[in-house]
Amino acid sequence: MSLIKWTPFLADSPFEGMDKMMSDLSSETASQMGFSPAVDIYEDKNNMIIETQLAGIDPAKVDISIANDVLTIKGEGEKKSEVEDKNYYRKEIRRGSFFRSIQLPTQVVGDKASAISADGVLKISVPKATLVKPKTIKIQTGQK
């Protein structure tokens, strides 16, 4: 086990360590389930847009769900059996099941999400929720 020097002044926030630990935990869980596809998340005026490359994966075998502003993408890719006669120099192609769960950066309307798969890219569009403005309540006095 190697030691890492602690430098308290380099931390951006007191929660940075906790965020890293939670991120590592979700990555570890995802790696146990297969691979975790990389994503791009951006927004336009009305929508959050999430893109991921799922080349060679049948869109019918992909499940997308949104609950509490957390997007989950999971599915099953083609499992090719490894040929034992091959002498691999490198084996980097991911096959089998995959899982990715992402906390979206803003509130969304998950019931109105849509997804399109084209040229190996899955594009999910989720409308942003309109923020409710707080209502001002005037206080009445009991004096006549």
In tens, the pLDDT along 44-61 reads: 999 999 999 998 889 999
CATH code of residue 118: 2.60.40.790
Is it the case that residue 24 has pLDDT exceeding 70? no
| Averaged pLDDT of the chain | 83
Q: Is residue 5 part of a domain?
A: no
Q: What is the mean pLDDT of residues 114-138?
A: 93
**pLDDT > 70: what percent of the chain?**
72
pTM: predicted TM-score of the whole model, two decimal places: 0.66
Q: Residue 52's domain spans which residues? A: 37-79+93-130
Q: Is residue 13 part of a domain?
A: no
**Beta carbons within 8 Å of 78's beta carbon, 6+ residues apart:** 56, 57, 95
Q: Is residue 14 part of a domain?
A: no
Q: Is residue 29 part of a domain?
A: no
Alpha carbon distance 93, 79 (integer Å): 11
Domain count, the chain: 1
Q: Is residue 113 part of a domain?
A: yes
Q: Is residue 86 part of a domain?
A: no
